[in-house]
Chains A and B, each alone.
Chain A
Amino acid sequence: MTDLAGAGPRPHRVDGKPDAKDGNKPAEFVPGQPDMWAFVLFEALVFTSYFVVYMIFRTRSPELYLQSQAHLSLRIGVFETLVLLVSSWSMARCVQAARQGAYRSALTNALLTMFLGVVFLVAKVFEWTRLIRMGFGFSSNEFFSHYFFLTGIHFLHLLIGFVAVGVIVYQLRSPARRSQELVETGATYWHTVDFLWIVIFALLYVVR
């Protein structure tokens, strides 16, 4: 396999670094491919529509939602959120390290991100099995349909996120590649998975 597009023709951006200029106002730049930002914003809008549908249906039968919601474990949700936040943090460190040329450290951080992603997946699967053991499945009731749908589609985005981090790792491993743009593009995707989860967590576990 060749490296992903964009790596070859476009030179590494050196001048775009924040604080690169000696002045106190850093140069403006778009992190990663602008195309990925188009995806992030579009996907964010699609999720907004899912969230609005959920909120509207929630207010139509609040008792059912509240009773079902009581079976979720807030602690597991908080744990998962923290795990994803740590993964985002290490992803941000990976980008900074790669920008400064510290590729070894960047690679470590990328692998750490991946590991935390796996931890999240395991926690999620544990949570699902727990609920299914308790007798709540995808079609049990409206709340659980939304719950399994939103967590499921988020789970899928996270799985795609492994491809994104995989591309980052692939880029960082060989001096012949190391496209800073692709590293930032993958990072943008990963953070998207994180911030979508933060909203999903608030809506499913906490909102009353």
Chain B
Amino acid sequence: MNALIKKRLLVVWLVLASITLVYLWVGSVDPASAVRPSAVVTSSAIVMALIKVRIIFREFMETRHAPVLLRRLTDGWVVLMAVCLLGSYFFGMAIR
């Protein structure tokens, strides 16, 4: 049992770390050309961050086993963040 939990935490950490390393690729900038706003980079950065946040909620903070109210609230916050961040980005770019 103990070993099983340990292994699960290790796998969770490996997943989180790999997503983090993906940022090196997503966020890399070609030094030759000027940096331009990019909806693809922005959306993927935000979505990746929120996926990581949800994994932390579920695994590290153990909402996996929590009562349904707490699960809903934490998931609700993740959704709210997605709506707010992507919404303000796309809305701001559209009205500019």
| A touches B in complex, CB < 8 A | yes
A208-B36 contact in complex given A75-B24, A191-B56, A202-B48, C-beta closer than 8 Å: yes
Taken together as a complex, chains A and B put the C-alpha atoms of A187 and B90 apart, in Å, by 35
A31 at the interface (CB under 8 A from B): yes
Asked if A92 contacts B24 (CB within 8 A), the reply is no
B contacts, CB < 8 Å to A: 1-2, 5-6, 9-10, 12-13, 16-17, 20-21, 23-24, 26-29, 35-38, 41-42, 45-46, 48-50, 52-53, 56-57, 59-68, 70, 73-74, 77, 80-81, 84-85, 88-89, 91-93, 96
Asked if B21 contacts A207 (CB within 8 A), the reply is no
Asked if B92 contacts A55 (CB within 8 A), the reply is yes
Asked if B35 contacts A85 (CB within 8 A), the reply is no
A59-B92 contact in complex given A85-B20, A93-B6, A208-B36, C-beta closer than 8 Å: yes
Smallest beta-carbon distance A123→chain B, Å: 14
Asked if B13 contacts A86 (CB within 8 A), the reply is yes
Asked if A56 contacts B88 (CB within 8 A), the reply is yes
Kindly supply a per-residue 1/0 record for chain A positions 185-208, scoring 1 wherever the CB is within 8 Å of any chain B CB and 0 otherwise.
Answer: 001100100110011011101111
Residues of A near B57 (CB, < 8 A) are 195
Which A residues between 7 and 32 are near B, CB-CB below 8 angstroms?
18-19, 26-31
A contacts, CB < 8 Å to B: 18-19, 26-31, 37, 41, 44-45, 48, 51-52, 55-56, 58-60, 62, 66-67, 69-70, 74-75, 77-78, 81-82, 85-86, 88-89, 91-93, 95-96, 100, 102, 184, 187-188, 191, 194-195, 198-199, 201-203, 205-208
Q: Can you pick out 26 interface pairs between chain A and chain B where the beta carbons lie within 8 Å of each other?
A: A18-B64, A28-B67, A37-B70, A37-B73, A55-B85, A55-B92, A59-B89, A59-B92, A59-B93, A60-B92, A67-B35, A78-B20, A78-B21, A81-B20, A82-B17, A85-B17, A86-B13, A184-B62, A191-B56, A194-B60, A195-B53, A198-B49, A201-B23, A202-B45, A203-B45, A208-B38
A75-B24, A95-B62 provided; 7 other pairs, C-beta below 8 A? Answer: A31-B65, A31-B66, A41-B73, A52-B84, A82-B20, A92-B59, A184-B62
Asked if A19 contacts B1 (CB within 8 A), the reply is yes
Chain B, Cβ-Cβ closest to A66: B35
Mostly, the B contact residues are helix
A78-B35 contact in complex given A30-B66, A52-B88, A89-B9, C-beta closer than 8 Å: no
